[in-house]
Amino acid sequence: MTSGTEVEAPTQRSLRKADRRAAILDAAAALFAARGYAGVTLDELGAAVGVSGPAVYRHFPGKGAVLAAILVDASRALLDGAERVLAVDATPEAALRALIRFHVEFAVGDADVIAVQEREVTQLDPAARHEMRTLQRTYVEHWVGVLDRLRPDLAEEELRVRAHAAFGLMNSTPHSARTPGRRPAATTIRGILEEMTWASLMS
């Protein structure tokens, strides 16, 4: 240990390792979304990334940690995105439009992650659940803050209910994505969801 904060070796081994870790998280999100956290074995998860079984333990301390990483990463990504948006947009209208656009983009683009996040919270260990809840609460408060400037007539509790309702609307893609037959293109879906969300929040 030389001193202080290390950035260190961009060694070839560590790169492959980072790749594998990302691949595991990706595959896990898809598998968990399709068959549920409990319905996926570590052997299957390993097989999905081309290694088999307990190799996952070289990257995560256990199955629960994989789930935790997916959920916490997602919550942090959402929060970061929201704060980036809020740092830029001045007026409440522009801010809300940007928040909606960002959230819809995320939900449509990472439908698997959204599905897992909505379904498997109950399976999280207390520590990870707490971390995720904290991130989510802050995220909600950013929305409520913007809504409050737009709708000062409404109570904060009502605004919170409205924010959650908007999330439910925007997060609906995992459900409609499972319908058979012709589905509209992703861009079309984004447009619809953005429009509906705006209208619902402004009603």
Partner DNA sequence: ATTTGATGTTAGTGGCGACTAACCGAAACG
Partner DNA sequence: CGTTTCGGTTAGTCGCCACTAACATCAAAT
Among 59, 142, 162, 190, binds DNA (CB under 7 A): 59
Give yes or no for residue 184 binding a second copy (CB under 8 A).
Answer: yes
Positions in 9-48 near DNA (CB under 7 A): 9, 11-14, 16-17, 20, 40-43, 46
> 146, 96 in Cβ contact below 8 A?
yes
What is the full DSSP assignment across 30-77?
HHHHHH-GGG--HHHHHHHTTS-GGGGGGT-SSHHHHHHHHHHHHHHH
Task: Please report which residue ranges of the chain form alpha helices under DSSP H.
Answer: 12-35, 42-48, 63-88, 92-109, 111-119, 126-150, 156-170, 173-176, 186-202
Give yes or no for residue 196 binding a second copy (CB under 8 A).
Answer: yes
Among 30, 48, 55, 121, binds DNA (CB under 7 A): 55
Nearest-angstrom CA–CA distance, 120 and 133: 13
Of 138, 159, 149, residue with least CA distance to 203:
159
Question: x/- site string to a second copy, residues 117 to 156, per CB under 8 A?
Answer: -xxx-xx----------------x--------------x-
Residue 117 binding result from DNA, a second copy, none, given CB thresholds of 5 to 8 Å by partner type: none
Give yes or no for residue 53 binding DNA (CB under 7 A).
Answer: yes
**Positions that interact with DNA (CB under 7 A):** 9, 11-14, 16-17, 20, 40-43, 46, 51-55, 57-59, 62-64
